[in-house]
C-alpha cells in the first residue's frame, strides 16, 4: 500500500486517501446488516422526481461532466425476492437449466469466495474478469440456469464500493445474466452515471460495455423497459460523442439497432394513436446519437441501405410538437443532404416537402430549427429539378417562404448595428447574425426553385418576394453581409431570365439596374459577377441599354473583358453583344474606343472561343448542366442559341478588328 494506511469498506480494502474520497461521495452508512443503506431513486438525480434533465432535453444540453456524488446501491439492484413470485417468473424458474456441479464447484465457487474475501480493488476487478470468462465458458450467462440468484446477490453487494472500474465490470456481468425489470433499470442507471464522466471513456472502451448496452436495445422489450432504455440510450449518446468509439459502434451494428428502435417507436405510436410515455425523451437520445455518427461515410451508406431516411421523417411527423426531436433530426438531414446520394434519397421521399413546410410554419421564429430546415430545402433543390417542382407544388409553399422572409427581414432590421459601426465591418466582416443566416439560406432556396421553368415566372411575378429581394439590396451592402447580398442578387438574376408580361422584375428593371451599380464598383469579384449576369438579362431591354450607356456601365463591361475570371468575361461579352443590337450603341462603342482596328485582341478571342464552344453540342450541353434540365436546355440551344452563336462566330471570323476592348477606364 506504499505506506498509506488502509481502511475496509464493504469488505474491500482501500487506501485511506481513496476511502476519504469514497466516503465523501457516499455519505450514507453502508453496512451488511441484512442489506445496504438505501438510496431512493429521486435522490440519485438531485432536483428531479423522475428522469434527469439530461435525458429529457436536446442532445447538447446534457453535456458530460464529473459524475454526481450519489449512485445506485446494492439495494437499488434489488436482490431476488422470496415473496410472491409472478406467474411468468415461476414458468421461467421451471425452465432453469441444471448447472454442471463439477464446473460450478471447481471454477465458479473459488472466484465467488475470492470476491467475498478482504482484498483490494484491483484484485476484486481481476476476479470479476475471471468470473465473466468462466461463466461464458460454462454456458452460464443468461437467465436460464440454477444458482443465478447466488451470483446476483454476490455481485450486487459489491456495487456500493463506488469504484467506476469495478462498477463497469459488475454491470457487464449483470447485464449478461439477463436481469429484467427493476434490476435492468438500475444497472442501466449505474452505467449512465459512469458514462457521464468523459474521463471514464477509457474504462468503457476497455470493458466493451457498449456491446452490452446495444444488446439491451436489441433484445429487451421496449414497452416493458422504456425507462431502462432511456438510461441505456443516454449512456450510448455520451459514448458516441467520443470519435474513438465510432468504428466500434459501426462494427457492432449500432446504426441498424438505433434505426430499428426508431421504427419500433413509430409503429407503437401509429398503432396506439398516441406516443408512449417517455418515448419523446428516448427519441431525443437516439437522434442525438445518430447525429454524432452521420459524419462517417460508412454510416451514410448504412442509412441508405436500410432506408433510414423515411423512418426519421415519420418520427418527425409523429413528434412534430417536440422541438428537440425535430431539431436533432434536422441536424442529421443537414449533414446527410450535403452528399449527393443521401440528398437524392431524401428528395425522392415525396412526403418530406410537406413535412418541412409544416415545421417552418410551426416553428417560424425558432431560428435554430428553421435555419436547418431551410438549409435542407436548399440542398434538395440545388441540383434536382423534380425536387424543385415537388416542393413548389405543395400547398402554400411560396407563401410559407414569403412569410418566413418577412419574419426574419423584420428581425434583421431590428438588430441592425448603428451606421457608425459599419466601417469596422469593411475591414473585418462580422459573421452573419441569426436572422441573416436564415435569410442567406432562404434566398438560396428561392434562387434554386426559380431555375424550374414552371416556377421561375411565378416567383418573378410575386410582388412580395421581389420586393423583399430588392429591399435586401437597398439596406445591405457587401461589407454588411456578403453572402446574403450575393444570394439575393443571384435570385434576381434567375428571375430576370423570364421575359413574362407580369414580371415584377421587368417592371422594376431600371431600379434594379441602379441598385446593381454599387456591386459593380466593389472589390468583390463574386458580387461583380452576379451584377453583370443580371445586366446580361436586363440588357435585352432598350431602356436598360440606354441606362447602361448613360451611366458608362458599358465602359466597365469592356474593362472586364480583360479580367482573369472567365465567367465575368463571358457575362460582360453578353452585355456588350446586347448593346450592339442597337446601331446607335455600336457607334458609341466604336467612338468610345471599345472597338479598335488592329490585330485580334482579347475580347475577340474570348467571344470567338465561347461562340465556337457553344456551337458544339457536346461542349454546350456537358455534365455541368442539371441532368433534369438537359432536354429543356437542348431544345432552346438548338432553336434559339445555336443559330445566333454560329452567326456571331462567322461575323467575328470575318471581322477580327470589330471587337477590341478599350484600356481599363479609371473611375
Burial 211-244 (b: 16+ CB within 10 A, else e): ebbbbbbeebebeebbbbbbbbbbbbbbbbbbee
φ and ψ at residue 8, rounded to 5 degrees? -120, 130
User: pLDDT of 407-466, one tens digit each?
Assistant: 999 999 887 655 444 444 444 567 888 999 999 999 999 999 999 999 999 999 999 999
Q: Is 118 a residue whose pLDDT tops 60? A: no
Over residues 377-384, the mean pLDDT reads: 93
CA separation for the pair 185, 301 (Å, rounded):
33
Report residue 625's pLDDT band, with 50, 70 and 90 as the boundaries: low
> Which residues contact residue 225 at a Cβ distance below 8 angstroms, ignoring those fewer than 6 apart?
180, 181, 184, 185, 216
Cell representation of residue 86? 409472478
**3-state class (DSSP) for residue 610:** helix
CA separation for the pair 245, 210 (Å, rounded):
9
> Which residues contact residue 321 at a Cβ distance below 8 angstroms, ignoring those fewer than 6 apart?
none
CA separation for the pair 533, 513 (Å, rounded):
11
> Which residues contact residue 396 at a Cβ distance below 8 angstroms, ignoring those fewer than 6 apart?
357, 361
pLDDT number for residue 72? 53
pLDDT number for residue 422? 43
User: pLDDT of 123-176, one tens digit each?
Assistant: 888 888 888 888 887 788 887 777 788 888 888 888 777 788 888 888 998 999
Strands (E), 324-364: none
Length of the chain: 667
Nearest Cα to Cα of residue 283 among 259, 307, 306 = 259
pLDDT number for residue 24? 35
CB 579 within 8 A of CB 546: no
φ and ψ at residue 69, rounded to 5 degrees? -70, -30
SS3 per residue for 576-596: HHHHCCCHHHHHHHHHCCCCC
User: pLDDT of 281-317, one tens digit each?
Assistant: 999 999 999 999 999 999 999 999 999 999 999 999 9
pLDDT number for residue 578? 84
Over residues 11-33, the mean pLDDT reads: 35
Q: How many CB atoms lie within 10 A of CB 37?
A: 14
DSSP per-residue codes, 94-162: HTPBPP-HHHIIIIIHHHHHHHHSSEEHHHHHHHHHHHHHHHHHTT--SS-BTTHHHHHHHHHHGGGG-
pLDDT number for residue 147? 77
> Which residues contact residue 105 at a Cβ distance below 8 angstroms, ignoring those fewer than 6 apart?
none
Kind of pairing between the strands at 12-15 and 6-9: antiparallel
Over residues 200-229, the mean pLDDT reads: 90
CB 480 within 8 A of CB 425: yes
Report residue 104's pLDDT band, with 50, 70 and 90 as the boundaries: confident
Q: How many CB atoms lie within 10 A of CB 202?
A: 12
CA separation for the pair 441, 16 (Å, rounded):
60
User: pLDDT of 231-240, one tens digit each?
Assistant: 999 999 999 9
Amino acid at each position: 500500500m506504499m505506506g498509506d494506511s488502509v481502511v475496509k469498506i464493504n469488505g474491500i480494502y482501500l487506501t485511506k486517501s481513496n476511502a476519504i474520497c469514497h466516503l465523501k461521495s457516499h455519505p450514507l452508512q453502508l453496512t451488511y446488516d441484512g442489506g445496504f443503506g438505501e438510496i431512493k431513486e429521486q435522490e440519485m438525480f438531485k432536483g428531479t422526481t423522475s428522469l434527469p434533465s439530461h435525458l429529457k432535453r436536446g442532445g447538447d444540453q446534457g453535456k458530460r461532466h464529473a459524475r454526481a456524488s450519489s449512485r445506485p446501491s446494492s439495494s437499488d439492484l434489488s436482490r431476488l425476492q422470496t415473496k410472491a413470485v409472478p406467474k411468468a417468473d415461476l414458468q421461467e424458474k421451471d425452465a432453469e437449466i441444471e448447472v454442471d456441479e463439477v464446473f460450478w464447484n471447481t471454477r465458479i465457487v473459488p472466484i465467488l469466495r475470492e470476491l467475498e474475501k478482504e482484498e483490494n480493488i484491483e484484485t476484486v476487478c481481476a476476479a470479476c474478469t475471471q468470473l465473466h470468462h468462466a461463466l461464458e465458458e460454462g454456458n452460464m450467462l443468461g437467465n436460464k440456469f440454477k444458482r443465478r440468484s447466488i451470483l446476483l446477490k454476490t455481485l450486487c453487494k459489491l456495487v456500493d464500493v463506488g469504484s467506476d472500474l469495478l462498477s463497469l465490470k459488475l454491470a457487464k456481468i449483470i447485464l449478461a445474466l439477463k436481469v429484467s425489470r427493476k434490476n435492468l433499470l438500475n444497472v442501466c442507471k449505474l452505467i449512465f452515471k459512469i458514462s457521464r464522466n468523459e474521463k471514464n471513456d477509457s474504462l468503457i472502451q476497455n470493458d466493451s460495455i457498449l456491446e452490452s448496452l446495444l444488446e439491451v436495445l436489441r433484445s429487451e422489450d421496449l414497452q416493458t423497459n422504456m425507462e431502462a432504455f432511456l438510461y441505456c440510450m443516454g449512456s450510448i449518446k455520451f459514448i458516441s460523442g467520443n470519435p474513438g468509439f465510432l468504428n466500434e459502434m459501426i462494427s457492432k451494428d449500432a446504426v441498424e439497432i438505433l434505426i430499428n428502435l426508431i421504427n419500433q417507436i413509430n409503429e407503437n405510436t401509429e398503432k396506439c394513436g398516441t406516443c408512449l410515455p417517455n418515448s419523446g425523451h428516448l427519441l431525443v437520445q437516439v437522434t442525438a446519437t445518430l447525429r454524432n455518427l452521420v459524419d462517417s461515410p460508412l454510416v451514410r451508406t448504412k442509412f441508405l441501405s436500410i432506408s433510414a431516411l423515411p423512418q426519421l421523417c415519420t418520427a418527425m411527423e409523429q413528434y412534430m410538437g417536440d422541438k428537440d426531436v425535430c431539431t436533432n433530426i434536422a441536424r442529421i438531414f443537414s449533414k446527410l443532404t450535403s452528399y449527393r446520394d443521401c440528398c437524392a434519397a431524401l428528395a425522392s421521399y415525396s412526403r418530406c416537402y410537406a413535412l418541412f413546410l409544416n415545421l417552418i410554419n410551426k416553428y417560424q421564429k425558432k431560428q435554430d430549427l428553421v435555419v436547418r430546415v431551410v438549409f435542407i430545402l436548399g440542398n434538395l433543390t440545388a441540383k434536382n429539378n423534380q425536387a424543385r417542382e415537388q416542393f413548389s407544388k405543395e400547398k402554400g409553399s411560396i407563401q410559407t417562404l414569403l412569410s418566413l422572409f418577412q419574419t426574419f427581414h423584420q428581425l434583421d432590421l431590428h438588430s441592425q448595428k448603428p451606421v457608425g459601426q459599419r466601417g469596422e465591418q469593411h475591414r473585418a466582416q462580422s459573421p452573419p447574425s441569426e436572422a441573416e443566416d436564415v435569410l442567406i439560406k432562404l434566398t438560396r432556396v428561392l434562387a434554386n426553385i426559380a431555375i424550374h421553368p414552371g416556377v421561375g415566372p411565378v416567383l418573378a411575378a410575386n410582388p412580395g418576394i421581389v420586393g423583399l429581394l430588392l429591399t435586401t439590396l437597398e439596406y445591405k451592402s457587401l461589407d454588411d453581409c456578403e453572402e446574403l447580398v450575393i444570394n439575393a442578387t443571384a435570385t434576381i438574376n434567375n428571375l430576370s431570365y423570364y421575359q413574362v408580361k407580369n414580371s415584377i422584375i421587368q417592371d422594376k428593371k431600371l431600379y434594379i439596374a441602379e441598385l446593381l451599380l454599387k456591386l459593380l464598383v466593389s472589390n468583390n469579384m463574386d458580387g461583380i459577377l452576379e451584377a453583370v449576369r443580371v445586366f446580361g438579362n436586363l440588357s435585352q431591354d432598350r431602356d436598360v441599354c440606354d441606362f447602361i450607356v448613360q451611366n458608362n456601365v458599358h465602359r466597365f463591361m469592356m474593362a472586364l473583358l480583360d479580367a482573369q475570371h472567365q465567367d465575368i468575361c463571358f457575362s460582360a461579352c453578353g452585355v456588350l453583344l446586347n448593346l450592339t443590337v442597337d446601331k446607335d450603341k455600336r457607334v458609341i462603342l466604336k467612338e468610345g474606343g471599345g472597338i479598335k482596328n488592329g490585330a485580334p485582341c482579347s475580347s475577340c478571342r474570348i467571344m470567338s472561343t465561347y461562340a465556337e464552344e457553344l456551337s458544339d453540342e457536346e461542349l454546350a450541353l456537358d455534365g455541368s448542366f442539371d441532368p433534369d434540365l438537359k432536354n429543356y436546355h437542348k431544345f432552346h440551344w438548338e432553336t434559339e442559341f445555336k443559330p445566333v452563336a454560329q452567326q456571331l462566330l462567322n461575323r467575328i471570323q470575318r471581322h477580327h478588328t470589330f471587337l477590341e476592348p478599350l484600356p481599363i477606364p479609371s473611375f
